[in-house]
Amino acid sequence: MNAKRAVLVAVVAAMLVLAGCTGGDDAGDAGDGTAIDAGDAPEEAVDRDDTAGGGSADDGTTAATGDGFAVDAADRDRQLIRTGEVRLTVETFSDADAEVRRVADAHGGFVSDADRETRDRGDDSFTVGELTLRVPSDDFDAVMADVEAVGAVERSATESKDVSEQLADLDARLENRRAERDRLRELYEDAERTEDVLAVQSELTATQEEIERLEARQTTLRDRVALSTIRVRLSEEPPEPEEPEAWYDTGVAAAFLESVSGVGTVLRASVVGAAYAAPYAVVFGLPLVAIGFAARRFGGRLPFGTDE
The enclosing H or E element of 168 equals: helix 164-190
User: In the prediction, which pLDDT does 298 show?
Assistant: 72
User: In the prediction, which pLDDT does 233 show?
Assistant: 96
**Residues 107, 124: Cα–Cα separation, whole Å:** 36
User: Reduced to 3 states, what is the DSSP secondary structure of residue 31?
Assistant: helix
Q: Could you read off the pLDDT of 190-217 as tens digits, one per residue? A: 888 888 889 999 999 999 999 999 999 9
Closest by CA position to 78, among listed 10, 163, 205:
163
Q: What is the mean pLDDT of the chain?
A: 76
Residue spans of the domains in the chain: they are 2-236, 250-294
User: Strands 124-136 and 110-121, how do they pair?
Assistant: antiparallel
Q: Could you read off the pLDDT of 47-69 as tens digits, one per residue? A: 434 433 434 334 434 444 444 44
Q: Could you read off the pLDDT of 102-145 as tens digits, one per residue? A: 999 999 999 999 999 998 877 788 999 999 999 999 999 999 99
Beta carbons of 30 and 159 less than 8 angstroms apart? no
User: Reduced to 3 states, what is the DSSP secondary structure of residue 306?
Assistant: coil
**Residues 229, 58: Cα–Cα separation, whole Å:** 18
Q: Read off φ and ψ for residue 230, nearest 5 degrees.
A: -130, 125
Closest by CA position to 85, among listed 267, 211, 226, 234:
234
Q: Could you read off the pLDDT of 243-257 as tens digits, one per residue? A: 656 665 667 777 777
Beta carbons of 126 and 236 less than 8 angstroms apart? yes
Letter string b/e over residues 251-284, b meaning 16 or more CB atoms within 10 A of that residue's CB: eeeeeeeeeeeeeeeeeeeeeeeeeeeeeeeeee
User: In the prediction, which pLDDT does 145 show?
Assistant: 96
